[in-house]
Chain A
Amino acid sequence: MSRARNAIVSALVLLVGRRRRRPKPEETRLVPALPPNPVAELVVLALLGLSSLAALGFVLIYAFGDSLPNETQLLGAALGLAFLFFAAALIVVGLKLVPEEELAEEYPPHEHPGEQQVIAELVDESGTRFTRSRLFKLGLLGAGGTLGLAILTPAVSFGPLFHVGSFLRTPWRRGRRLVDENGRPYKAADIEKNDFYLAFPEGTNDEEKDQMAASLVVIRLDPDQLHLPSHLEGYDADGILAYSRICTHAGCAITLYRAPLFQPDEPRPALVCPCHYSTFDPAAGGTVTFGPAGRDLPLLPLYVDSSGYLRAKGNFDGPVGPSWWGVRMWKAQP
């Protein structure tokens, strides 16, 4: 009990007593002397105390807060408040307790002509033994440049250069069946109107499914609704169409199929990319009707085999994925 009283008394002496200390006799000071501000001082101490409490709280929540439902919120509040109390203390120090000075001084000189002169002379005079200084500079430049080139050369092995093959290759070839994400082959009868299906080539593993040319969006339209352009004639199998699932604009997956329930007063069927809303008309061979895509959606020709399975009739009518310089120069290759 008396111990506690002693502690309180000494704390009070520490807090209040220091203030009573006599200032030293006024000498030539660098920083102007200002009267003490006991209120601000107390506020700072209180804020620092709160800060340490909050920081301690953070440690405790970390240690024991396992079962709490809002652990992250409590941790964040504790740590954030610890910092903010500390910041508040510093700000009070800065605004109330530190002498406010505004000093003036000269900006640095615009330039140092003397030093400039010395540096230039140093460089020039050091080179007087060289009689062919221009050739020397050229040699230095050449060696430095080629050395730099040599150091950078290994970075070429990052990846294949001058190799467009991979951009044209697709896993599709004639006869390959279309399967769903579990590897079950699609029958033509499975594909219903107004529904859309994700399809892959048969026999691909998970990694190959992520190749851009692997995935398809398969839909069925009324054959009399179709008006495919002449070069895509026969790409559908009884109205079933298989488009590349990758948008020709920026490579996002086309996972939006606008399938009107009642044609007369609802928007026409469309395949839409959710990234920049490029909209493709599946009935017209994947032509762009809105949005930024600059190329039609590649279409995979299909046929139905004798057991009713959907198979690729060949390859896409053009390379899959976003455009690059040669995207219109070559056909997709198996």
Chain B
Amino acid sequence: MRRIGASTRVMAAGTALKPMTQATAEQIAGLEMEAAAQEFSSVVENHRPQIFRFLLASTRDVDLAETLTQECFLKAHRNWKKFRGESSAMTWLMRIAINLTKDHWRNRRMQFWRHAQTHSVDMDEASEWLPSGERSAEQQLMAREQVGRVWKAVEGLSERQRTVFLLRYVEEQELSEIARATGLSEGTVKAHLSRALGKVRTELGSWR
């Protein structure tokens, strides 16, 4: 869609030799806007669930995750013209979402005198969402316990470690993608990831 926009611009440049009426210029501008709107709506449709999932895992708060998702796409819509397509739309959106989460936690720290009105779901409740599959009841119980342990470990991670961990093991992103989304180098991402995994291992080990 973005390419269509570019091609119309090329066409406009090509036909610049001929006297172009104001009506055609307006038509082209209208077409471009329409194309951009369509393009953006398709991006929202494709990536909204994923962004929501990441934010939900980061905050464990359904309302907050929804609010931040809305804000993320609002920001993206405002800056859509500035998006050059150097990275994928998903990486760009994820970067916005990460920054929003950071801002949110920073604001929460600043407003420490306020009553902490959190709707965070309890770890046990969060770990209950496990598809049964073909497991026995005992296996399923064990899996739930383990998932609960992972949630506990995730809660104990630093903000960066948590982001990197969730991007890798929930969103299944490559290290390079994570590096682009977080603005960190691949080496730093690896280091954060190994520390996060170490903590998860320790948490699971203490349980066993």
Q: Do these two chains interact?
A: no
- Chain B residues with CB under 8 Å of chain A are none
